[in-house]
């Protein structure tokens, strides 16, 4: 079996002038339509995961900074500068923001690569395009969210006039993760703005660069002051204050299940509306009638894309016993193409992990799996490099259902593989998890496909593909993978309240 750890990873590639400008500007917050200094001087270093070196700094916002941002969003909502705009005007402004992201695609992709570690080409083709797509899709909902006329059922006809209005919730606190920084920011602000809400956006402290650059584009697009505010800082301080703030009406969070539970508890104090997109341990189920090469390649991409730092990563493989060995051989062969490289390396398909903390977390899981009896089919180690947080694509076999590597979300390029014999058995195994975010089924049999789609308890089930998402389709999880849905009509309606009006005639 191939080992992809033989060659050293070169971490240093030159930054563009645009990237140097973004990294070199003074740390600041975007509040009430302007760049402002923090009330204190604390900052957070920007670490390039490809080198492990500090390349800049962002503000670690104080509680007073959070209060300023929420106050700005509150004023912008209450005085009608956004909510009272004609819906078509809101739509045009959101579309303008999408245009500006498209115009600045190369710079945004580079900043994402420097900040997050994903290959620049991947960011340009995936993250930036998805960001543009979600903004364009949600912009159209600005003019399509309406109420409903409902005739009362127990009153004499014509004596009462009743209807239901759909109104924006208010101020939305939006906390996004570090694995898809720009796309997650766009996916949060787009439906909120379309619904008429105002926003305080907090990117992950590890990856704030594209959110800050997005603030520049929001100003350029002409959004009224205070409609979108961007603050940076640690989750345990800045994020905590934002979630607990009495003037915040809704919280949308994407991240770990543990943090999501904490946010949900805090939100109950003021009964804030909450959308949570949380962890996953998605099964990839391969039946014996597949094209082995295609299924193996698909399974490899399902776990190694973005170095496995994907909530819907296909991290649990279930292959039918009759083809298990061939599938593993195919994934091991495919792993060679996923050798980690620096994010600005034009040949990179997989970059480093986001941080030193995440590197040690993932390596800890690999070691725990080995100690528990798992066998390494490929990887299981870190390549030689001159810096950075690289881990080779890893496949563990001979695993048991009770192992931590099978039950817990690793969030790295680590696949655990198991055999199965029949449909009912694998459906039970696929559902034997506290998570239920995604799953994929690989088969040529349409009946098997639909049976599995019905049996698997997950928010999205893919057939003969994995992790395909589209802005028009709702996305979210079952069980401890979250609350509510994002994207699609459901994703914009969660930013609204229903008001019933009954008038005696």
- Pick left, alpha or beta for residue 414 (phi over 0 → left; psi -120 to 50 → alpha; otherwise beta): beta
Q: How far apart are CA 311 and CA 438, in angstroms?
A: 9
Q: Residue 302 belongs to what H/E stretch? A: helix 292-304
Q: Which residues of 80-95 are buried (b: 16+ CB within 10 A; e: fewer)?
A: ebbbebeeeebbbbbb
With cut-offs at 50, 70 and 90, classify the pLDDT of residue 4.
very low
**Rounded Cα distance, 273 and 171, in Å:** 11
Q: How confident is the model at residue 3 (pLDDT cuts 50, 70, 90)?
A: very low
pLDDT above 70 covers a percentage of the chain that reads: 98
Q: How would residue 6 be classed by pLDDT, with cut points 50, 70 and 90?
A: very low
Question: How high is the pLDDT of residue 1?
Answer: 37
Answer yes or no: is pLDDT of 219 > 80: yes
Does residue 115 have a pLDDT over 70? yes
pLDDT tens string 485-505: 999 999 999 999 999 999 999
Q: Is 425 a catalytic residue?
A: no
Tens-digit pLDDT profile for residues 10-22: 666 899 999 999 9
Residue-wise pLDDT tens digits, 273-325: 999 999 999 999 999 999 999 999 999 999 999 999 999 999 999 999 999 99
pLDDT at 492: 98
pLDDT of residue 385: 84
- Phi-psi label, residue 316: left if phi above 0, alpha if psi -120 to 50, beta otherwise: beta
Over range 403-420, report the average pLDDT.
98
Q: Token pair for residue 125?
A: 């083709």
Given 107, 311, 429, 486, the catalytic residue: 311
User: Of the ranges 110-114, 295-299, 310-314, 382-386, which one carries the lowest mean pLDDT score?
Assistant: 382-386
Q: Taking Cα atoms as reference points, which of 172, 52, 162 lies closest to residue 114?
A: 52
340 pLDDT above the threshold of 80: yes
Active site residue 277: yes
> Does the pTM of the predicted model rise above 0.85?
yes
| Rounded-to-integer distance, Cα 254 and Cα 191, Å | 15
Mapped onto helix, strand or coil, the DSSP state of residue 338 is helix
- Please, where are the H alpha helices in 399-465? 404-407, 423-431, 446-455
Q: What is the mean pLDDT of the chain?
A: 96
Tell me what pLDDT residue 63 has: 97
Which pLDDT belongs to residue 10? 62
199 Cβ contact list (under 8 Å, min separation 6): 73, 171, 172, 174, 188, 189, 192, 193, 227, 228, 229
Annotated catalytic residue within 277, 409, 429, 486: 277
The band of 337, judged by pLDDT with boundaries at 50, 70 and 90, is: very high
CB 459 within 8 A of CB 438: yes
Of 195, 185, 178, 204, nearest in space to 97 by CA:
185
pLDDT at 111: 98
The whole-number pLDDT of residue 8 equals: 59
Distance separating alpha carbons of residues 205 and 451, to the nearest angstrom? 42
Query: Does pLDDT of 190 surpass 60?
Result: yes
| Average pLDDT for 396-413 | 98
Report the pLDDT value the prediction gives residue 2, as an integer from 0 to 100: 39
What is the sign, positive or negative, of the torsion defined by CA atoms of 111, 98, 240, 488? Answer: negative
- Tell me the per-residue pLDDT of 77-97, one tens digit each, with 9 for 90 and over: 999 999 999 999 999 999 999
């Amino acid at each position: 079996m191939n080992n992809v750890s033989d060659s050293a990873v070169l971490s240093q590639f030159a930054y563009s002038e645009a990237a140097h400008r973004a990294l070199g500007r003074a740390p600041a917050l975007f509040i009430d339509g302007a760049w402002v200094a923090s009330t204190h001087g604390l900052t957070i270093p920007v670490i390039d995961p490809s080198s492990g070196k500090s390349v800049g700094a962002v503000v670690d916002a104080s509680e007073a900074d959070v209060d300023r941002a929420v106050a700005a969003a509150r004023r912008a909502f209450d005085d009608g500068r956004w909510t009272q705009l004609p819906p078509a005007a809101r739509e045009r402004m959101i579309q303008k923001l999408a245009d500006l992201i498209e115009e600045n695609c190369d710079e945004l992709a580079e900043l994402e690569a420097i900040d997050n570690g994903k290959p620049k080409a991947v960011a340009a083709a995936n993250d930036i395009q998805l960001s543009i797509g979600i903004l364009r899709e949600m912009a159209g909902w600005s003019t399509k969210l309406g109420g409903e006329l409902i005739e009362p059922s127990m009153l004499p006809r014509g004596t009462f006039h009743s209807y239901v209005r759909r109104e924006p919730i208010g101020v939305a606190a939006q906390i996004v993760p570090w694995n898809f920084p720009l796309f997650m920011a766009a996916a949060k602000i787009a439906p909120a703005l379309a619904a008429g809400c105002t926003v305080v956006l907090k990117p992950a402290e590890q990856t704030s660069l594209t959110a800050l650059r997005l603030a520049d584009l929001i100003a350029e697009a002409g959004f009224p002051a205070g409609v979108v505010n961007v603050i940076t800082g640690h989750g345990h301080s800045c994020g905590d204050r934002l979630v607990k703030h009495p003037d915040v009406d809704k919280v949308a969070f994407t991240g770990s299940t543990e943090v999501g539970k904490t946010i949900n508890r805090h939100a109950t104090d003021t009964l804030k509306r909450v959308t949570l997109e949380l962890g996953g341990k998605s099964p990839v189920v391969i039946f014996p009638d597949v094209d082995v090469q295609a299924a193996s390649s698909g399974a490899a991409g399902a776990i190694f894309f973005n170095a496995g730092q994907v909530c819907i990563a296909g991290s649990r493989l279930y292959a039918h016993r009759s083809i298990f060995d061939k599938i593993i051989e195919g994934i091991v062969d495919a792993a060679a193409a996923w050798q980690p490289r620096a994010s600005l390396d034009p040949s990179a398909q997989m970059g480093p992990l986001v941080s030193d903390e995440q590197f040690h977390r993932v390596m800890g899981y690999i070691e725990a799996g080995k100690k528990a009896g798992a066998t390494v089919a490929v990887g299981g180690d870190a390549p030689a490099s001159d810096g950075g947080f690289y881990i080779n694509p890893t496949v563990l076999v001979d695993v048991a259902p009770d192992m931590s590597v099978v039950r817990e979300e690793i969030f790295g390029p680590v696949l655990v593989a198991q055999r199965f014999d029949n449909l009912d058995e694998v459906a039970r195994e696929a559902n034997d998890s506290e998570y239920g975010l995604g799953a994929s089924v690989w088969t040529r049999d349409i009946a098997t496909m639909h049976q599995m789609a019905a049996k698997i308890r997950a928010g999205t089930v893919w057939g003969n593909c994995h992790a395909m998402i589209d802005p028009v389709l709702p996305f979210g999880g079952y069980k401890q993978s979250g609350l509510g849905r994002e994207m699609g009509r459901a994703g914009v309606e969660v930013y609204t309240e229903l008001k019933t009006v009954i008038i005696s005639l």
